[in-house]
Structure 1
Amino acid sequence: MTEFEAVTSQYLELIDDALPGLVSGFYLTGSIPLDDYHPGRSDIDGVVVVSEPVTDPEIVRAVHEKLPERPYFDVTYLTASALAAPPDRSTPVVYTIDGQFRDPATAGTVTPVLWSELARQSIAVRAVDGLAVHDDHQALVDHTRANLTSYWEPMLDRLEQRAAELPDDQVLDGWIIPWYVLGIPRLHALLATGNIISKTAARQHGAAAFPSYADLCTRAINHRAGALGEFTVADATPTVAFGRAVIASARQL
């Protein structure tokens, strides 16, 4: 049994015991269906289909607290009727990021991306008969374009500003550079191909589309896979340049 199979099995046993009949379905999204899960490093992402809306984390918190701290168990609790309609960010939804419950009112994971992941490339751990998911490709494209400009561009500005305040040889937290280098090309690939791809595939896409940054992409994916090595403040400069080049190109797609 794999790491994620053990955790998901434990979760279903716990939730069924604590709240019988609540969970009618459970689908894995993210890296697992894309065959890009790295034990000890990746998170478990998914959608829990519930028989009635869950808008208060306290309803399920005790179950989550019994799960291992890692891998992070990042799920969103949604009804089948909610999934059959466009994502509604005005309705509170219980969800976790990095294993922590976030404010349900923010509905952070309620986006066309999650709906499309579920419809196109999820793995059913517990399937719901006849589940219909509203997969609107134009909404996915529009969301992706908006995310590049409203989220990633300001994040690149912050990285550049922060790096200017630090010595070039200062070592950065290992996740920072790969997060940018692999995250932004994933969105470019979606606009270019129409497909949601893995972080490993994002490395391949980024290196092929922007060959002058191929080495940076390779270092980022090697780090994600657990290879030894570190990133310093000096790596922020090519990372920012790469990110801006990817976004500029995405605007033309």
Structure 2
Amino acid sequence: MTEPAPETTYLTLPADGGGPVLPVEVSATTTRYLELIDQALPEQVTGLYLTGSIPLGDYRRGFSDIDAVVVVASPLTDVEVVRAVHKQLPSSPAFDVTYLTAADLAVAPDATKPVVFTLDGEFKQEPSGGPVSPVLWSELARQSTALRSVPDLVVHDDQEALEAFTRANLTSYWAGRFDALESAFADHPDDEVVDAWILPWVMLGVPRLHALLATGNIISKTGAGEHALIAFPEWSPLLHRCLDHRAGKPETFTVTDARSAVPYGRKVITTALAL
């Protein structure tokens, strides 16, 4: 069993003391974005915080996106201006951001409120949902890289809500992914080659949730693979190959590998839910 979740905490992000060292394409995209958005909406973007693989030290050129939270002075009203800015940015790596106010971040995430965001570099505007979740709030509070800081920004970081969201995601999303994986290759020959991204995505994706419930921490995909090597050693050969693929080494995966991933995923989910 995990230790009892702590009560809700509120973490204050200090202003950054210096610029981080970033991959050149990340620096180019984020610098260009700030130039364009400041011209289009002066004084509207008060903060830009990188989340995801970059602050976790797991950015992989050619695989990773640029994930970020954009803090705006007030809710966006002229979304077409913002859409035009994103159209001028490089298509790769995708610049995936969520627009939120400081007031939004100071309280629990509300997935029923309208949100403006980009996904796979594509501009989105939805009346509810999007990437708004305890995961994003906790990522921002615990392990983000500030490219433009909001002084004394307060982010609501609720461990109990984070774990509840993670458990729900295991059953509502990941369980279905492994069912779909099993069905997709049921009648295919064992040696048929499958798209190279599929196995690393599932083998390294689902143990991130197991690790969160086991340790309380959000970790990278590479970290999740290393966690799975210890927690689920019977799948070590396939996990090592998925980690090699993420590191940029050439790897070929077959239907046999996909079939092996199905019981692995189900065991990860069952074990995680028992924590």
TM-score, normalising length from structure 2?
0.89
Q: Distance in 2 between matches of 1:96 and 1:167?
A: 38
Alignment partner of 1:102 is 2:137? no
Q: CA RMSD in A?
A: 1.3
Matched position secondary structure for 1:78: strand
The partner residue of 2:186 within 151, 160, 164 is 164
How far did residue 224 of structure 1 move? 1.7
Q: Distance in 1 between matches of 2:55 and 2:62?
A: 17
Q: Distance in 2 between matches of 1:153 and 1:86?
A: 26
How far did residue 3 of structure 1 move? 1.9
Corresponding position of 1:89: 111
Q: Distance in 1 between matches of 2:47 and 2:78?
A: 19
Corresponding position of 1:220: 242
How far did residue 103 of structure 1 move? 4.2
How far did residue 57 of structure 1 move? 4.3
Corresponding position of 1:53: 75
Q: Distance in 1 between matches of 2:115 and 2:147?
A: 21
1:167-211 per-position Cα deviation (integer Å, ceiling 9, x unaligned)? 222222211111110110000000000000001101100011000
Which residue identity does 2:261 align to in structure 1?
A: T
Corresponding position of 1:194: 216
Kept in 2: contact 1:54–1:93 (CA 8 A): no
The partner residue of 2:257 within 229, 232, 235 is 235
The partner residue of 1:207 within 220, 229, 254 is 229
Q: Distance in 2 between matches of 1:122 and 1:138?
A: 20
Matched position secondary structure for 1:95: strand
Which residue identity does 2:70 align to in structure 1?
A: V
Q: Distance in 2 between matches of 1:90 and 1:189?
A: 28
Matches within 5 A, 1:1-253: 2-54=24-76, 57-253=79-275
Q: Tell me how many residue pairs correspond in the alignment.
A: 253
Higher relative contact order (CA 8 A, sep 6+): 2
TM-score, normalising length from structure 1?
0.96
How far did residue 235 of structure 1 move? 1.1
Question: What are structure 1's unaligned runs of at least 5 residues?
Answer: none
Q: Distance in 2 between matches of 1:158 and 1:57?
A: 36
Q: Distance in 2 between matches of 1:77 and 1:224?
A: 29
Matched position secondary structure for 2:175: helix
Q: Distance in 2 between matches of 1:41 and 1:56?
A: 32
Matched position secondary structure for 2:147: strand
Q: Distance in 1 between matches of 2:182 and 2:215?
A: 29
